[in-house]
Amino acid sequence: MKLLTALHAEMLKTKRTASFYFTILGAAPVPLIFLLNVLTGGGDVEAVHKGSLNAVFELGMERNGLVFLPLYVILLCTLLPQIEYRNNTWKQVFASPQSKGNVFLAKFLNINRLIMLFLIANLAYLSLVIVLMHFSDPSRNLLSQPFDIKSLLASSAYTYITMLALCTFQFWLGLRFRNFVVPIAIGLTLWIAGMMMSFEFKSDLVGFFPYSLQTFPFITQFHSKLTQVALTSVGYMTLFLLLGFLDFKRRRFTV
């Protein structure tokens, strides 16, 4: 109950901040580019014809999941804790009758709420794109093609779970540094390193690097390891949450 109260307070704090619009708009570029590509006869038309309705979702989710979602998570995890630093409100938070554990978890849950909103918004935009594609060229028969919702939900769940390691570490960094540039710089560097490990070096360690795990749902040869990687991500989340909380509890945010 107290955790829900703390979460409610966190949600109120994000009211009128850029985070909500950032979430809604951040999920839009990939579906928009996809739509423009199809309408102008670009490369995606062929993919749509080949793979049907499911292919549109897969393609959209892959492009979002590889680039836009990690960037969004890095920025969100850094900017949300900044609300307290920027407004000098940590002392008021800690002078109120709530445990540090609840404050910490409520902030993490609020970030995850927005990440889920991002994923839902992405799927909603892709659905809209499909409808628009259907009306622009009914001969594609997109709306009457088979739709594998189970696969879509599983893919969304893996996208979210494999992102948790990156998200939690970035959340810790966001709470750790008063200057928001530092966690963003660290996050971007690690993300680029993770992408290079996955696509350039094809390193054996890719399944253990927190900033590489989110690429697994979108690389076909890694699909056999997906469950293992999801568990690794949850393990990292637990570890980073624990370390982050110990650090959060020990740190002096006031005076």
Partner 1 sequence: MDQQPIILTSGLSYHYAREVQTLDNINLRVERGSIYGFLGPNGSGKTTTLSLLLGLLNNQKGDIQIFGQHLRENREAILGRIGSLIETPSLYAHLTARENLEVYRNTYGVTKARVDEVLEIVGIADTGKKLVKKFSLGMKQRLSIALALLPNPELLILDEPSNGLDPAGIVELRALVKKLNKEHGMTILISSHLLGEIEKMVSHVGIIYKGKMLFQGPLSELHRFQQRGSRLFISTSDNKAACRLLQEYEPAISDEGLSVAFEDMRQVAAINRRLTDNQLEVYLLQPKENDLEQLFIDLTSAHA
For binding to partner 1 (CB under 8 A), which residues are involved? 5-6, 8-9, 12-13, 15-17, 83, 86-92, 94-99, 252, 254-255
Please, what sign has the CA dihedral across residues 19, 23, 24, 29?
positive
Residue closer to partner 1, measured from CB, 93 or 124: 93
Contact 167, 77 (CB under 8 A): yes
60, 30 contact by CB (below 8 A): yes
Q: What is the DSSP letter of 204?
A: G
The pair of structure tokens assigned to 76 is 């969100």
Place of tokens 């939690």: 168
Beta carbon nearer to partner 1, 90 or 208: 90
Tokens 């109260």 identify what position?
5
Side chain identity, residue 43: G
Q: Of the two residues 150 and 252, which places its CB atom closer to partner 1 in the complex?
A: 252
Question: Nearest distance from residue 109's CB to partner 1, in Å?
Answer: 16
Q: Tell me whether residue 89 or residue 144 sits nearer to partner 1 (CB atom).
A: 89
**Backbone torsions φ then ψ of 200, nearest 5 degrees:** -95, -55
CB of 205 to partner 1, least distance (A): 39
Q: Residue 99 Cβ, how far from partner 1 at the closest point, in Å?
A: 6
Residue (79 or 130) nearer to partner 1, CB: 79
Tokens found for residue 63: 């492009």
- Shortest Cβ distance from residue 103 to partner 1 (Å)? 10
Q: Is 170 in contact with 177 (CB distance < 8 Å)?
A: no
Query: Least CB distance from residue 79 to partner 1, whole Å?
Result: 12
Taking the least distance from each CB to partner 1, the nearer of 20 and 68 is: 20
> Cα 15 to chain center, whole Å?
20
Q: Which two tokens stand for residue 82?
A: 């900044």
Tell me the closest approach of the beta carbon of residue 26 to partner 1, in angstroms. 19
